[in-house]
Amino acid sequence: MIKKLMLGNEAIARGAYEAGATVATAYPGTPSTEITEYVAKYDEINTEWSVNEKVSLEIGIGSSIAGARTLVSMKHVGLNVAADALMSVSYPGVNAGLVIAVADDPGQHSSQNEQDTRYYGIFAKVPVLEPSDSQECKDFVKEAFEISEKFDTPVIVRITTRIAHSQSIVELEERMDIKVKDYDQNPNKYIVAPAVARKRRFVAEERLSKLKEFAEESTLNQIKYNDSKLGIITNGIAYQYNKEVFPEASFLKLGITHPLAKNKIEEFINKCKQVYVIEELEPIFEEKIKSWGLEVIGKEVIPSIGELSAEKIRKAIFNTNKEMINLDLENNLPKRPPVLCPGCHHRGVFYVLKKLKIHVSGDIGCYTLGAFPPLNAMDTSICMGASIGMAFGFEKAQGKDFAKKSVAVIGDSTFWHSGITGLVDLVYNQGNTTVIILDNSITAMTGHQDNPSTGYDIKGNIAPQINFEELGKSIGINRIQTVDAHNIDRLEEIVLKETAAKEVSLIITKRPCVLHKKIKTIKAPLTINQDLCKACKACLDIGCPAIFLDDEQIKINPALCVGCGLCSKMCHFNAIKKGEI
């Protein structure tokens, strides 16, 4: 048996491969991105980056009904985008197995909220499985495909950041020889019109009852009796933390977290003197168990905000530092807030917008960092693709003159994800708002995935390259300007001109991400002539991490500088010079 150290995300991809999946779709989003990047390495699986999670799941539903085992992957907020498709496919069900891998982000390491995907399983009446290490990630995905086909349902496999990005040993097995099923042309199953859907509602409830029976017997739910004085009901990564804190306790590890195995849970509680329910985020198990009249301790002591850890659990249960190992990491480690990279495409854009005192409706991407010091150039950022609609909302509320001092900014990949519809609405409803598409030639924030305007697909093959300018023209935008993001004088001129116009304007700022693998942008680092420098600090206004103040002297760190030259455009004394390679 071959064994390999794997990330949880890699193990999910391996599980889909071994289960005989032939289709995989996703939109990149931390902490789920690597799932699909690893899947793409398997030639047997037709893999794609979809334009958003809804389209990804719709393709997955189509391929499942057409007979192919399919894996669809996304982060938790991506499931919001795909929710319409999820809720609608629940009643008709599947043909071949359909597994939806969703990565939640407790602690909000890279997300705008801490929502708990288990609620979606309950809401949609579909089963939810939760692995607690990489081996289980692989095994649970394979089991999820079996459950999906046995019970005619999509299955959610929920992981969290620590499962996605931690490593453990995985035993590799051969790929199952699963043939693509015949397509069953069945309108009474797959057309979710009211007359059909009303009947399928009963089917969904009957399926849920069968899944409850299955949960009682499934080995995915594991009981391990040790000391009966203390019992722990837990799941996922919290199981690993609890094993560390309570090595002698009895455990009920729930691998099927919806529907819950009521009889198994009740049996476990009755055999233990005191039982804690320790789950990350929401008290989903706890509330259900208490509704059955069973006594457990949960969120009375366990925090419901942020990710758990062994230390947090130990402190919560014992409620005293005497029992704790005091690591005090937060106070001892230096703070490292995220910043735009040296040479970043977005820096000049936000410098100009701040200078002009423009109201900026922002979006989700690297450029969200433009909201923070020293740029301080973004006023709102709510969710993927919202910038255009929100800017138009400001125009509606404040009047058309407000649009003269307002723009929406959105990245290239985010625009394809969910910005197009906002732009179409803006044109159709005759707004005045100016939209700036920040085109840095890649989906940068999640690790440089390709998108519809990069010219490549997930496997690196040449793909159609959709053009922003042509798209804008096709929907009726007359005012379209393209400009180098670091040509700040020209950019300022364009922003002033387009925001003054009494119709929709589209500005595309172009410059490749400085870390782009296919496009070389790094030049020799710049230097500062200290004889010419007056230490006026104007160059510090752009917030480049390569420039710093040292004992009242402005200096450039050559290890960080990429030679983009933006800082030299801030200097009124010609003190910043090109370096030598």
Token pair of 250 as six digits? 């009895």
Phi, psi of 157 (to 5 degrees): -105, 110
Which position has the token pair 């040509």?
Answer: 487
Q: Are 9 and 164 in contact (CB under 8 A)?
A: yes
544 assigned to a ligand binding site:
yes
561 assigned to a ligand binding site:
yes
The dihedral of CA 181, 187, 189, 192: what is its sign?
positive
341 assigned to a ligand binding site:
no
Give the N- to C-terminal CA distance of the chain in Å, as an integer. 51
Residue partners of 397: CB distance under 8 A and separation at least 6: none
137 assigned to a ligand binding site:
no
539 assigned to a ligand binding site:
yes
Residue partners of 465: CB distance under 8 A and separation at least 6: 452, 453, 454, 455
513 assigned to a ligand binding site:
no
Q: Long-range contacts: 368-376, Cβ < 8 Å, 24+?
A: 369/338, 369/339, 369/340, 370/340, 370/346, 370/409, 372/337, 373/543, 374/540, 374/541, 374/542, 374/543, 375/340, 375/347, 375/350, 375/351, 375/542, 375/543
Q: Are 141 and 71 in contact (CB under 8 A)?
A: yes
Token pair of 143 as six digits? 């089991």
CA angle 474, 479, 485 (to 5 degrees): 105
Which position has the token pair 């097995």?
Answer: 173
CA distance 548 to 546: 7
366 assigned to a ligand binding site:
no
Residues belonging to the chain: 581
Token pair of 515 as six digits? 């870390």
Q: Long-range contacts: 424-430, Cβ < 8 Å, 24+?
A: 424/475, 425/388, 425/389, 425/392, 426/388, 426/389, 426/392, 426/504, 427/475, 427/476, 427/477, 427/504, 429/392, 430/503
Q: Are 47 and 39 in contact (CB under 8 A)?
A: yes
Q: Could you tell me which residues are annotated as the binding site?
A: 533, 536, 539, 544, 561, 564, 567, 571
Annotated binding site for [4Fe-4S] cluster: 533, 536, 539, 544, 561, 564, 567, 571
